[in-house]
Amino acid sequence: MKKLYFNGDFVPMTGEGDTFEALLVADDGTIAFTGSLEEARAQAEDAEEIDLNGACLMPGLIDPHSHISGCTQYIVAADLNGAADFDEIVERLAAFAEQRGIGEDGVIMGVSYDQNSLAEHEHPNRHVLDRVSETIPVIAVHASSHMVVANTKLLELAGITAETPDPEGARYGREADGTPDGYCEEPGAMWPVFAVIQPRQKMDMDVMIGEMQDIYLENGITTCQEGATTADFAALFCGLANKGLLKMDVVSYPMYGEDVDKILADHEPFVSQDYTGHFRIGGLKMFFDGSPQGRTAWMTEPYTPGDEGEGYCGYGTMTDKAAYDFMRKAIDGNHQLLAHTNGDAAADQYLRVYKRALEDSPNPDKASLHPVMIHCQTARRDQYEQMAEINMIPSIFASHIWYWADVHLKNFGPVRGGRVSACHDALECGLPFTFHTDTPVLRPNFFEAVWCAAKRVTKGGAQLDENQKISVYEGLKAITVNGAFQYGELDRKGTLEAGKLADFCIVEKNPLKIELDEVRNLRVLETVKEGETVWTRK
How far is C-alpha 32 from the geometric centre of its chain's CA atoms? 32
First to last CA, the chain: 24
Helix (H, G, I), strand (E, B) or coil at 503: coil
Q: What's the CA gap between 468 and 271, in Å, rounded? A: 37
Bridge partners, 342 (sequence order): none
Q: Phi/psi of residue 225, each to 5°?
A: -135, 145
- How many other C-beta atoms lie within 10 A of the C-beta of residue 131? 17
Binned average pLDDT, 10 residues per bin, the chain of 538 residues? 96 98 98 98 95 98 96 90 96 95 95 93 97 97 92 97 93 96 94 91 90 97 97 97 98 97 98 98 97 94 92 96 98 98 98 98 98 98 98 98 96 97 98 97 96 98 98 98 98 98 98 98 98 97
User: b/e map of 144-159 (b: 16 or more CB within 10 Å)?
Assistant: bbbbbbbbbbbbebbe
* DSSP secondary structure of 377-436: TT--HHHHHHHHHTT-EEEE-TTHHHHTHHHHHHHHHHHHHHTSS-HHHHHHTT---EE-
Write the CB contacts of 327 (distance below 8 Å, at least 6 apart in sequence).
Answer: 286, 337, 353, 354, 357, 358
Q: Taking the alpha carbons of 121, 405, 307, 80 in that order, is the dihedral positive or negative?
A: positive
Check residue 443 and give its pLDDT: 93
Q: What's the CA gap between 193 and 158, in Å, rounded? A: 6
**The pTM is what?**
0.89
Write the CB contacts of 41 (distance below 8 Å, at least 6 apart in sequence).
Answer: 4, 22, 47
Q: What's the CA gap between 257 and 326, in Å, rounded? A: 10
For the chain, list the domains and their CATH numbers. 3-54 (2.30.40.10), 70-200 (3.10.310.70)
Taking a C-beta distance cutoff of 8 angstroms, is the pair 152, 210 a contact?
no
Q: What's the CA gap between 415 and 382, in Å, rounded? A: 16
Strand 22-25 with 31-35, pairing: antiparallel
* DSSP secondary structure of 469-496: ---HHHHHHHTTHHHHHHTT-TTTSSS-
The helix/strand count (H/E) of the chain reads as 19, 24
Nearest to 141 by CA among 76, 205, 216, 203: 76
Check residue 198 and give its pLDDT: 84
Angle (nearest 5°) at CA 171 between 66 and 227 = 15
Question: Prior bond to 254 cis, omega within 30?
Answer: no
Q: What's the CA gap between 202 and 187, in Å, rounded? A: 22
Helix (H, G, I), strand (E, B) or coil at 373: strand
Check residue 202 and give its pLDDT: 80
Taking a C-beta distance cutoff of 8 angstroms, is the pair 137, 131 a contact?
no
With helix as H, strand as E and coil as C, how does 33-86 read? EEECHHHHHHHCCCCEEEECCCCEEEECEECCCCEHHHHHHHHHCEECCCCCCH
- 220 Rama class: left (phi>0) / alpha (psi -120 to 50) / beta: left
Check residue 73 and give its pLDDT: 85
Classify residue 184 by burial, with Cβ atoms within 10 Å: 0-12, 13-18, 19+: buried
| 103: Cα within 13 Å, side-chain hemisphere | 2
Taking a C-beta distance cutoff of 8 angstroms, is the pair 113, 102 a contact?
no
Q: List, in sequence order, every beta strand (DSSP E) within 152-238.
A: 171-174, 180-185, 221-229
- How many other C-beta atoms lie within 10 A of the C-beta of residue 359? 10
| 338: Cα within 13 Å, side-chain hemisphere | 28
Check residue 144 and give its pLDDT: 84
Bridge partners, 279 (sequence order): 250, 276
